[in-house]
Structure 1
C-alpha cells in the first residue's frame, strides 16, 4: 500500500534544495536578530529569535549528519571535505550549547551569536560551493534523501515541540506566515 506523505512546508524538490531553503531561513533569523540586538526592550523577542535560530540549526545539522552526509560520503571520493563539514558541525554545536546557557540579557550573547553567525556563514559557503555540487554530480537519489530527511525533521520537531512561527522584524507586518521554501 502506497501512502502519500503529508505536505511539508518546503517547496524544495530534492534534499539539496531543502538544505538550501534551511540556509535561507537561518540567514533570515540572523538578520532579524541583528535588527533587535541593541534594543534592551526587546529581550523577549531576542530570546525567542535565539531559540528559533538554535533550534533551526540543530535540526538542520541532524538532517545532514544522520542522512545527507553519510549518503554523500559513500558517493564521493572526498573524505577531507566530509571531515571538514562534520568538524564544522561540532564547532557549531559547541557554540549553541554555550548560547543555551546564557540569559537573553547576558552581555556575551550578542558576541557568541556573532561568532556562531561567522561559523555558519563559512560552513554554508563551503557546502553551497563545494559539497552540494559534488553531491549533485555523484548521481545520488536526492528525492529519496529528501523524503528521509523530511521524516526525520518531523520526528525531531515533534520531540522538541514544533518551532514557533517566525515573528515579524520590528516595523514589519505579520510574521505568522510560513516561510517560502524553508
Structure 2
C-alpha cells in the first residue's frame, strides 16, 4: 500500500526553502533601513533597485514553495539568527559600514542556500529540479547584489575611515562584475514573476507532473516509486482542487460545456489516484494503472493548453490573467497547508 509521503529528503529541502523565505523578508527590511540611512544619491539608487529586486524575489520564493508542493516552517536556529541580526540592524551598536557589511554577508548566505537547494534537487529528483527552476532568478540576482554591496562597502568604508571619497577605479570594476552577473540572470531565468499569467503557472504544474510520471515509469525501485507517487498524489490533488476553486468558475462563462468536461475528468483522476494509492508500488499492476492515469492527465492537459488557454487569452485582459494566477497560487498554498496539518 502506498502511504502518505513523508520523505525526509524532500522535507529537508522544504525546510531550507522556508529558511530562505524568512531571510528574504529580513533582506527587504534591511534594504529599507539602509536606504533611509544613506544620503549619497548614487548609493540610494542602488539600494532602491535592490529593494525592488528583493521584493520580487520574495514573490518568486513563494511561487517556488507552492510549486514544490511540500510546506515547512523556518527552523528555530535560523529564526533565532535572523532575530539577532534584525536587532543589530535596528540598534546603534553597529556603524553604517558594519550594517552594510552584515547585509552583504546575508546576501552571500542566501546565494549559497539557493545553490545548495539546486544541488540537492539534482540528487533527490527531477521533479524537484523542475519545480525550483525559478529559483535561478533569486540566486543570480543575489550574486549581482553582492557585487554591488562590495562597492558600497568600499565607498562607505573609505569615507568612514578617512573622511574622503574613495577613488572610483575599484567601483568601476565592481560595476563590471555586477553587470556580468546580471547578464547571467537574463540568460538563466525566465520571465519576471510579475509577468506570470495563469497559463504560465498552470503550464509549470503540468511540466512537473509529467516529470513525475516519467520518474515512476522509469524506476524499478519500489521505494523511489512510492516517493514519486506520494508527490504526484499531492500535486495532482492540490492542482485540481485549486483549478476548481479559481480557474474553472472564471472560464465557464466563455468556455461553456467544455468546462464541465474538465471538472469530470479531474474527479475521475482523483478516484484513480485513490485506487492506485491502495496498491503495491512494486507490482506490475501498479504501473499499468499509472499509465492509465498518465494518459488521462495528459489528455486533460492537452485540452487545457490547446483550447482553454486560448479562450482565456481571448476573453481576459493581461491584468485579469495575472490576477487569476495569483488567486490560483493562493488556493494551492492554502490546500497544501491544510494537507500538511
Q: Deviations over 1:68-87 (max 9, x none)?
A: 0001113x1x4221111111
1:47 aligns with 2:226: yes
User: Where does structure 2 lack aligned partners over 5 or more consecutive residues?
Assistant: 1-54, 68-133, 135-192
User: 2:217, 2:209 → 1: CA distance?
Assistant: 12
User: 2:271, 2:336 → 1: CA distance?
Assistant: 21
* Cα shift at 1:14: 1.3
4+ residue segments displaced more than 4 Å: none
User: 1:109, 1:154 → 2: CA distance?
Assistant: 29
The aligned residue for residue 90 of structure 1 is 267
Q: Which moved more, 1:107-116 or 1:17-26?
A: 107-116
The aligned residue for residue 70 of structure 1 is 249
The aligned residue for residue 198 of structure 2 is 15
1:58 aligns with 2:237: yes
User: Where does structure 1 lack aligned partners over 5 or more consecutive residues?
Assistant: 163-182
* Cα shift at 1:108: 2.2
Q: Deviations over 1:77-116 (max 9, x none)?
A: x422111111111111111111112232244211111100
User: 1:107, 1:72 → 2: CA distance?
Assistant: 39
Match of 2:290 among 113, 116, 122: 113
Q: Which has the higher contact order (CA 8 A, sep 6+)?
A: 1
Equivalent position SS for 1:110: helix
User: 2:277, 2:251 → 1: CA distance?
Assistant: 31
Match of 2:218 among 35, 47, 55: 35
Map 1:97-108; keep pairs closer than 5 Å.
97-108=274-285
User: 1:157, 1:80 → 2: CA distance?
Assistant: 29
Q: Deviations over 1:38-91 (max 9, x none)?
A: x2xx111100111111111111101111100001113x1x42211111111111
The aligned residue for residue 125 of structure 1 is 302
Q: Which moved more, 1:82-91 or 1:112-121?
A: 82-91
1:152 aligns with 2:327: no
Q: TM-score, normalised by structure 1?
A: 0.77
Cα RMSD after superposing both structures: 1.9
